[in-house]
């Protein structure tokens, strides 16, 4: 076919790599390398994205998280967070679809304090209608400290 302006489609032709070959390469090279790195312990600081209290948090070790609700755990309790969406280090990241397995990642946290927030004023006012309502709201808050994030080399 002669090469005219309409002989080939205007978008760039992209050839994806062969799926069988790619699966082999992935299973052999990539997984082995990453497993080797994890078992050798050659990662610096791990960060994780955790779904907790209906919010997603990007957490590392030794950092504080404050949530606007009550947890049914006493102060000083250790909590293991499931529902890890993403774990990463300097050289590699493990992206979950959508979650990562519990035998892969372990995120530990401790409940530090359970306080109330500062008293917020909730006021409604309509002018010229003699309507105003004032309400002071103090939400209960919980502070957690993330102790450790660990990964185990059980990829496949």
Q: Does 118 bind another protein (CB under 8 A)?
A: no
Residues 46-75 that bind another protein (CB under 8 A): 47, 49, 56-58
Q: Does 33 bind another protein (CB under 8 A)?
A: no
Task: Report helix, strand and coil shares of the chain as percent, to nearest 5.
Answer: 15, 45, 45
Q: Which stretch binds another protein (CB under 8 A): 35-43, 106-114, 124-132, 145-153?
A: 124-132
Q: Which stretch binds another protein (CB under 8 A): 12-20, 36-44, 65-73, 148-156?
A: 12-20
Size of the site for another protein (CB under 8 A): 33
Q: How far is CA 25 from CA 21, 50, 109, in A?
A: 6, 30, 37
Residues pairing with 65 in the sheet: 144
Q: What is the DSSP letter of 129?
A: T
Q: Does 141 bind another protein (CB under 8 A)?
A: no
Nearer to another protein, 75 or 137 (CB): 137
Q: Give the number of other CB atoms < 10 A from CB of residue 63.
A: 13
Check: CB of residue 93 under 8 Å from CB of residue 101.
no
Q: Does 129 bind another protein (CB under 8 A)?
A: no
């Amino acid at each position: 076919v002669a090469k005219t302006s309409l002989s080939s489609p205007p978008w760039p032709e992209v050839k994806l790599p062969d799926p069988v070959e790619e699966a082999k390469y992935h299973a052999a090279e990539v997984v082995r390398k990453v497993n080797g790195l994890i078992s050798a312990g050659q990662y610096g600081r791990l960060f994780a994205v955790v779904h907790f209290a209906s919010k997603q948090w990007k957490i590392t070790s030794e950092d504080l998280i404050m949530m606007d609700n009550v947890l049914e755990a006493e102060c000083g309790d250790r909590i293991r967070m499931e529902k890890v969406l993403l774990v990463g280090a300097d050289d590699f990241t493990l992206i979950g679809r959508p979650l990562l397995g519990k035998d892969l990642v372990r995120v530990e946290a401790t409940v530090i304090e359970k306080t109330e927030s500062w008293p917020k004023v909730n006021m409604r006012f309509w002018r010229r209608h003699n309507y105003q309502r004032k309400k002071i709201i103090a939400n209960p808050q919980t502070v957690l400290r993330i102790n450790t994030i660990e990964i185990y080399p059980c990829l496949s």
